[in-house]
Amino acid sequence: MLFINTRPASRARELTQCLTQAGVTVFELPLLALQSYPYTVDLEQQFQQLPFVQAIVAVSPTAVEIGMDYLQRSQLTISDLDQVEWIAVGRKTADTLVQYGINASVPKLETSEGMLALPIFNQRQDLKRIAFWRGLGGRQFMMQQCKQQGFEILNMLLYQRHCPDNALQQFQHLLQQHLLNPQPYVVCISSEASWHNWCQLCEQHVAFLEQGHYLVLGERLYQILQKFHLKKGNCFNITQVESLDEPTVLNTLQQLHI
């Protein structure tokens, strides 16, 4: 079995190492590259509002790193945000916050439902404003769900995501490798944007797309692939996971018996 690791290059290494040590062949093909937005007057004004929010949702390690850099440039410190409850989407994001001395709440499920199930949403009566540290196109549904619950949202776009420049070259290399050594393969899909980029790469290679088994993060992404399957008539297998951390992915692959 071949596992295609589509995580951004900065996040792919640990998963690749874990699977390789377990005897899984891994091909790294990042489908998203992350680039910070410049620190603008508008962003500075948003950072100046952080002392008046009750919670900050950090959606990724990249969001934490850029957010902390820009916090410092705004001449604010973490102690200025003592009133803030930090929420990390994913254990890796929480681990990154720990490096700044912050212990964040982590949803059991990396979904909107998982986040809204956190105790803070039931126990903190003064929770009215929530800031999101995120990338363009990321966790929009999660933010919309919070709006529907009546919370005021401070939407802080810190970076953009795009298909890496070398993705097509890497994909062609993958196709050549598959022709020489055909074998079942599994692809991890972590977001709607990464799925869109994968479909673009496979546009002229539908038969190859259909041979894949897709490991998708969360119910919403699972439904997106199901709708694609029904609309396009493509036939492929999908498995939903609630996390793309190393133990979850490895355990899921072992259960698939591919």
Quickly tell me which residue has 């699972």 as its tokens. 222
Contact 213, 237 (CB under 8 A): yes
Q: Which CATH number fits domain 2-32+165-256: 1.10.10.60, 3.40.50.10090, 2.60.40.1180, 3.40.50.300?
A: 3.40.50.10090
Give the per-residue pLDDT at 101. 97
Pairing type for strands 129-135 and 55-58 reads: parallel
Ranges for all domains in the chain classified under CATH 3.40.50.10090:
2-32+165-256, 35-162
Q: What pLDDT is recorded for position 219?
A: 87
Global confidence as pTM = 0.82
Asked if 68 contacts 38 with a C-beta cutoff of 8 angstroms, the reply is: no
Distances (CA, A) of 114 to 102, 106, 117, 142, 175: 20, 9, 5, 10, 37
Name the helix (H) or strand (E) containing 85. Answer: strand 85-88
Instruction: Name the burial class of residue 161, with classes exposed (0-12), middle (13-18) and buried (19+) by CB atoms within 10 angstroms of its CB.
Output: buried
Q: What's the CATH code, domain 35-162?
A: 3.40.50.10090
Q: How far apart are CA 247 and CA 256, in angstroms?
A: 14
Q: What are the per-10-residue average pLDDT scores of the chain (258 residues)?
A: 92 94 97 95 98 96 97 97 94 94 89 80 89 87 86 96 95 97 95 94 96 93 91 87 92 90
pLDDT of residue 22: 96
How buried is residue 191: exposed, middle or buried, by Cβ count under 10 Å (0-12/13-18/19+)? Answer: buried
Residue 55 near residue 120 (C-beta atoms within 8 A): yes
pLDDT recorded at residue 73: 97
pLDDT for residue 231: 83
d(CA 137, CA 126): 29
Q: How far is CA 62 from the centre of its chain?
A: 10
Handedness of CA 28, 32, 33, 36 (dihedral sign): negative
Q: How far apart, in whole angstroms, are the C-alpha atoms of residue 191 and residue 144?
A: 16
Cβ atoms of 26 and 3 within 8 Å: the answer is yes
